[in-house]
């Protein structure tokens, strides 16, 4: 049974998925997970976020240090979802060394189930289909990277097709992901998904992003120059900023451009320290909102 901490009434932005323990080369670790970066972004942009997750106390303490008193619904777990990235000449090898408890609809408090924005941020296949179909009054979006991973008995992570797409996608109003999450077949896959999902925002690193809207692909929305210090979490920052602006304006083009601006700011400091406020974005890029 989930334990609710710092209970609140309906949040503006609900993020669902595992916060993670990301191992560093020196043996230490830092807080990770799509929902951590997304909730922090929503808070910086003036929304009231909440998180549904599963993690042990030390990982929750790390989240509290970043987002003090954020409303949480936590499925207790003795294990943390733990990732290790090893870089070799052929590229990155990723390992999953532990996995917290799965998340079902019962972990989502009743008062939170009609939050205006819900971001599903799976990292290790942890979100049950009951969650996806159980939030009909919200703008439900997903960063599906965790649905596109599989791992072997040693924890070695490899790409996986989106399982149960016919169950998941009809309940999702927006997908936000990178072309790299799919690879060479990205346009074919996105074109298929776009028959069901109204909006798909696709990031292309420093080059910017584009959007599939009602089955039609846009041109590229150029990225913004940045002095990159740490790109960790930039895609999750982009996703949250995109959804916040989409909810406010209803304009996907405006939302994707704003998300490019927020993401560019975010990579200029370590972890989430570079995530800007709306005022900071306006001062840098001449944006109002």
What integer pLDDT is reported at residue 184 of this predicted model?
A: 78
The pLDDT tens digits for 212-252 are: 999 999 999 999 999 989 888 999 999 999 999 999 999 99
The mean pLDDT of 96-100, rounded to a whole number, is: 97
Could you check whether 1-172 and 179-289 share the same CATH topology? Answer: yes
DSSP 8-state secondary structure symbol assigned to residue 127: B
Write down the domain spans for the chain: 1-172, 179-289
Is residue 287 scored above 60 in pLDDT? no
CATH number for the segment(s) 179-289: 3.40.1190.20
Residue 289 confidence class, pLDDT cut points 50, 70, 90: very low
Cβ atoms of 247 and 49 closer than 8 Å: no
**Residue 267 phi, psi (nearest 5):** -85, 0
DSSP 8-state secondary structure symbol assigned to residue 7: -
The mean pLDDT of 117-127, rounded to a whole number, is: 97
d(CA 196, CA 175): 11
Q: Where are the beta strands (DSSP E) in 58-156?
A: 72-76, 81-88, 91-98, 117-120, 139-142, 149-151
In percent, the amount of the chain with pLDDT more than 70 equals 98
What integer pLDDT is reported at residue 8 of this predicted model?
A: 73
The mean pLDDT of 22-44, rounded to a whole number, is: 95
For tokens 């790390």, what's the residue?
Answer: 62
Is residue 58 scored above 70 in pLDDT? yes
Mean pLDDT taken over the chain: 93
Instruction: Please report, to the nearest 10 degrees, the dihedral formed by the alpha carbons of residues 131, 182, 263, 122 taken in order.
Output: 20
Fold category of 1-172 in CATH: 3.40.1190
- Total-model pTM: 0.95
Is residue 24 scored above 60 in pLDDT? yes
């Amino acid at each position: 049974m989930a334990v609710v901490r710092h209970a609140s009434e309906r949040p503006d932005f609900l993020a669902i998925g595992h916060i993670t323990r990301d191992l560093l080369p020196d043996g230490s670790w830092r807080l990770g997970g799509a929902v951590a970066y997304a909730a922090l972004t929503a808070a910086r942009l003036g929304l009231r976020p909440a998180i549904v997750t599963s993690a042990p106390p030390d990982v929750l303490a790390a989240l509290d240090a970043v987002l003090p008193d954020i409303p949480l619904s936590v499925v207790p777990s003795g294990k943390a979802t733990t990732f290790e990235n090893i870089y070799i000449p052929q590229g990155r090898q990723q390992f999953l060394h532990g996995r917290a408890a799965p998340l079902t609809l019962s972990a989502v408090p009743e008062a939170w189930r009609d939050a205006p924005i819900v971001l599903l941020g799976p990292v290790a296949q942890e979100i049950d289909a009951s969650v996806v179909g159980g939030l009909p009054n919200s703008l439900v979006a997903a960063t599906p990277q965790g649905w596109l991973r599989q791992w072997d008995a040693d924890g070695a992570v490899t790409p996986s097709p989106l399982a149960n797409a016919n169950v998941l996608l009809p309940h999702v109003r927006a997908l936000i992901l990178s072309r790299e999450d799919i690879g060479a077949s990205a346009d074919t896959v996105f074109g298929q998904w776009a028959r069901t999902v109204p909006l798909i925002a696709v990031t292309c690193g420093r080059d910017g992003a584009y959007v599939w809207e009602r089955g039609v692909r846009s041109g590229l929305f150029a990225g913004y120059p940045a002095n990159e210090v740490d790109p960790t979490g930039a895609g999750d920052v982009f996703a949250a900023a995109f959804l916040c602006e989409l909810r406010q304006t209803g304009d996907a083009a405006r939302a994707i451009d704003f998300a490019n601006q927020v993401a560019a700011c975010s990579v200029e400091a370590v972890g989430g320290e570079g995530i800007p406020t709306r005022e900071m974005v306006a001062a840098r890029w001449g944006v109002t909102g």
